[in-house]
Structure 1
């Protein structure tokens, strides 16, 4: 079968290259739709459609099917939600090493607003902190959670907008769903080695196969990294291992078991730089070498069962157990106390957690005489336990012109300022219904969550309990104007437990409308959406005090444009633009009413162009990549006092095929070494990450 797409008219190439976004292609799509006749029929019988037969997430930057959205697996044109997918190929092409880097070229997502702080994955979706999920199961909030390893995933799906009916607990801005690498039954052989900036040395592998002619298959994925960090006296080491087994006794049944371990020995923070107007070198370290660590040790076991009974009835169940420890300790800066001295504070965290989450559901497909129906009904149970200790105490001042270190802090001899044990149980029941007829797809969803929480203050012995029931709904309508163009509108709700007991849960609502276009002439997807979302009973973390404060009600109205296109066999484009108008509608004390939300840029955009030159004779294939990211001005906090200036960051990549199976690749993030203040807190400044170079040699067989 010839999978090469037909050639496009030159005008189409020019339009796409000049636009750098979805708008030009959408205008072309509208013109094409106008030319359709009344006899055109959209076939909705096949839910999953690959633009190129046999394509996988490792071979393309464009996907056509998603597991996020309504909770039902969908052709992306038939989902009444805005969903962006970052495939493993895109992750590899751009050399993305963290979740923040994975999401940097996605519309509606803001990253890097905490600068070179590696404690957590810092990103916002449509102006709000986001929760993360793995294979549809809850992980937690990105702020305060474990930094995930992108090499563990085949793809990363970004669901934009309120949608608690699909996942449960979720903020109104959106959620990130990681899709784990698992045994496929196909032969997979991939190894790589990387050297780079800050004495980075890394090796990794992704292997898989079937056990002979049996019904069993396996997959083994891992990496080990030994590196320093951009700031002096800082480590950036990691070990990761994932092993999976799958049993497919028939075409109707799949049972898989995946275990993975993540270990990090990194550094938490640059400690900050004095806010005296000077630009300091990024490697300047003003903390304490003996008290500068970020530890993660996590084990995860996932069991997945899928079975088709026949007659349109399918069963699916996933259960995941997680056990781990984590913590950090570092010294951060306060205000300057003289012309050359700056105050400092010790800050440390120690945590242990054990979580279980399980989901079971039934999916029923039926033909209702001209209408196709899909009904998904399921239950979910989650049990989370966490012990958390925090230390905070002043440290000696330091001379930033001639640093002299005084030693670390013995936590065993220091009284913590907070020590808590939290236990949370969540029991949920949900129902999703989809009906498709002719060109129309209607989706509705309903979910009820019962959350019971208990917190013990280990310092005072006080126990506090809380419980709430929350029902959320979602409704969406999609119209397939042509087989390649769809229009959609949706209403969605969200709910998040409050950060403090006795406070009403945070709730969100969103209205959204959008258009999606997938041309026949090439492998591509162009999307545009407009939305209006609100969050009620909102609690945020103040960037200066690191303490929670209640806003009350906020609103974000915006536009997202995104394009992912493989224009020819050698030319690909990723483009994104977002406009977010955020406002604090009502705050508790009224002082911030009318202000914008902190760390939310009004304008942001990104463009990545990839160009491959086929090899000739002794010269191998050459793969070029160049990207630019724009982050507009944003306030450091909801008080709207300090503003961060806009910035441009340029990234680049160069790949060279030594043989058909061996490639050398050079990735450079922040090519021009742009330096700017990304965040301010406690009178200190925090810079964006500097230039980082990585040279990778990979081999497949």
Structure 2
């Protein structure tokens, strides 16, 4: 079957159903708002007794979410900034990936990994690699480059340093924030849902979501699948994805268990590449965004199978213990060619980089949490320990550097160039282990409450050990070893001025492993070659306030962080400076009226690296989204969103500046009931409504200023049937 035919057929049937739909009526026979079926999820993804935090008014974000070691917390009762985007928002915006979801946060933008198509999330001007997202609180389990949105119940974005809360991310990112993916669980009512749709370029997709609760609702089963196939809005690109996920949960009187099993197969061809600009050259105009400049032999294939098991047990009314474990097997292969523009005419040179990678990840966590009082002071004490292990097998080859001439405005296809043996290593059919990453940590926290819990003070520390070993691609001989440890503390205070208003402050740190001194730097030998630097810390201080008016919520915060930077001075490699980030963030969400929901905010960022702005760190980012239920037409809703990103630099000397850009999106959806109990939701959406051509981001990998072309105008049409 053609990949588009099934979605188009289902859409036609859904529109045909419209003529037979039965609208709910009041006693006078007039149309009344539809009483749509409830899909409230009470079972928690992390097996906690309280379940998921409730959705806030408007349903687009939740009232709280997971704050690492501290567990689920209400946003008004934690001294950290957390936004949890719900499945309702994901469905209504027809999001396909995590990047589509987090761009609703004004402090987050999406960039690209170094030499691949990996999604990278820039939070407060610092990267979170997609393989450093956590899955239900555990690192390293999700597909490494891209995650389909159909698997997700919620996306929790924690802004700011978080080494104490979550532990050091094993991939070496996350200094500016953390992203946790909450998997789906069976809701209270049976769920049978099929969605079919089509996107610009002819890409069709089909997704399914089915759930049941069994054994007096103690056991939950939820099955999800997704199939996407076809061309994109960019002429020449194609995207194929298959995803399967199974979520199970058990709710006993004292024991709760949850488990997940997932598989994702993602294949990309001729995807628009990142583009580098030669030093000293002004940023050129953007190529035609609707046509791929990729070479026809470029591709990326990634297959991942992953699973988790988590259990929680109440020893009594005051003490709860938990344990969790997870595994992932990943298999990637790809061929990439990223051009470097050498003059104002757009002439470029490129080479071919091909690689294979196989990952095996094992991770786990165990902990206990207890509550008690000492006089008038309440205590919630949490103690946990975690481990992470990844073995990575790699092989790669480069073609001759600068061997592919071209032009980004007039691309010409060329044959795939042969490998250049001096820059190739490993066996593609049987790659050897080249990297081993081992982390372990122990964390202790006490949340002290005073004055009938109006005042809360969070104190704690985490001992973190990071070990990393490198091996030769051809022989398997060890070539590098790294083993360092560090303690990262936390101190937070939150005071509830009124039931509607909280003020907070925190000091917290980020942590990534330090570098190993190279043998040479800029052509000169390094005196301390092979020395291991202590882990790099980001020290952050933040103060702010939070508001919850019942229907409208929001926050205002200011922060400052300092990140260590390494380099070579006078022949010695070490820490030579800092990147200092200062920012102000305003967020707003909820319902302005019973029919009008809002979601948005502003992020102001002042980054400083030796007197210059950091790469890929805009001074201004702003979002505003509105969702309006049309009073005159039952079941009809309109939504619109504006995303603004200020100018940013693509080089450390601040000579190459990208212009600011603003993008507008709009959508419409219509809910109707068939025979009184079957719900159909028709959705249509246009992203980049004005078809603006723009450079979306610079950077995504430390020190790299590669540019990403913003996507052209994209139409999305879908139909969801609940039966």
The one-character-per-residue Cα deviations of 1:111-142 (angstroms, maximum 9, x if unpaired) are 3x5599971112211121124211111128x9
Q: 1:363-442 counterparts in 2 under 5 A?
A: 363-394=369-400, 395-398=403-406, 404-409=412-417, 416-417=423-424, 421-438=434-451, 439-442=454-457
Q: Which residue of 1 aligns with 2:696?
A: 678
Residue 612 of structure 1 pairs with residue 617 of structure 2: no
Q: Which residue of 1 aligns with 2:134?
A: 133
The one-character-per-residue Cα deviations of 1:165-215 (angstroms, maximum 9, x if unpaired) are 111115431111111113456422222101120111001011111235474
CA 1:308–1:414: 2 relative to 1, 3 Å: same
CA 1:366–1:577: 2 relative to 1, 3 Å: same
Q: Which residue of 2 aligns with 1:189?
A: 192
CA 1:304–1:538: 2 relative to 1, 3 Å: farther
**Counterpart contact for 1:334–1:344, Cα < 8 Å:** yes
Q: Distance in 1 between matches of 2:368 and 2:445?
A: 11
Q: 1:136-151 counterparts in 2 under 5 A?
A: 136-139=137-140, 145-151=144-150
Q: Which residue of 2 aligns with 1:575?
A: 600
Q: Residue 49 of structure 1: CA displacement?
A: 11
TM-score with structure 1 length normalisation? 0.83
SS in 1 for 2:416: coil
Q: Which residue of 2 aligns with 1:455?
A: 470
Q: Distance in 2 between matches of 1:654 and 1:266?
A: 29
Q: Distance in 2 between matches of 1:124 and 1:336?
A: 27
Residue 344 of structure 1 pairs with residue 343 of structure 2: no
Q: Distance in 2 between matches of 1:189 and 1:306?
A: 29
SS in 2 for 1:154: strand
CA 1:358–1:639: 2 relative to 1, 3 Å: same
Q: Which residue of 1 aligns with 2:637?
A: 623
Q: Distance in 2 between matches of 1:377 and 1:401?
A: 57
Aligned length: 627
Root mean square deviation, CA, Å = 3.2
Q: Which residue of 2 aligns with 1:317?
A: 323
Q: Distance in 1 between matches of 2:320 and 2:379?
A: 14
CA 1:647–1:661: 2 relative to 1, 3 Å: same
Q: Which residue of 2 aligns with 1:87?
A: 86
Residue 485 of structure 1 pairs with residue 498 of structure 2: no
The one-character-per-residue Cα deviations of 1:645-680 (angstroms, maximum 9, x if unpaired) are 011100111111233711100111111111023357
SS in 2 for 1:310: coil
Q: Distance in 1 between matches of 2:363 and 2:409?
A: 51
**Counterpart contact for 2:52–2:65, Cα < 8 Å:** no
Q: 1:252-267 counterparts in 2 under 5 A?
A: 252-267=254-269
**Counterpart contact for 2:318–2:372, Cα < 8 Å:** yes
Identify the match of residue 580 of structure 2 among 524, 531, 555: 555
Q: Which residue of 1 aligns with 2:711?
A: 689
**Counterpart contact for 1:69–1:81, Cα < 8 Å:** no
Residue 226 of structure 1 pairs with residue 225 of structure 2: no
**Counterpart contact for 1:116–1:689, Cα < 8 Å:** no
Identify the match of residue 489 of structure 2 among 463, 467, 473: 473
SS in 1 for 2:185: coil
Q: Residue 465 of structure 1: CA displacement?
A: 1.3
Q: Which residue of 1 aligns with 2:536?
A: 506
Q: Which residue of 2 aligns with 1:5?
A: none
Gaps of 5+ in 1: 1-46, 541-547, 585-592
Gaps of 5+ in 2: 1-48, 278-282, 427-432, 518-531
The range that moved more, 292-301 or 684-693, is 684-693
Q: Distance in 1 between matches of 2:410 and 2:505?
A: 60
Q: Distance in 1 between matches of 2:705 and 2:580?
A: 29
Q: Distance in 2 between matches of 1:596 and 1:653?
A: 36
The range that moved more, 215-224 or 594-603, is 215-224
Q: Distance in 2 between matches of 1:364 and 1:459?
A: 51
SS in 1 for 2:100: helix
Q: Residue 151 of structure 1: CA displacement?
A: 2.0
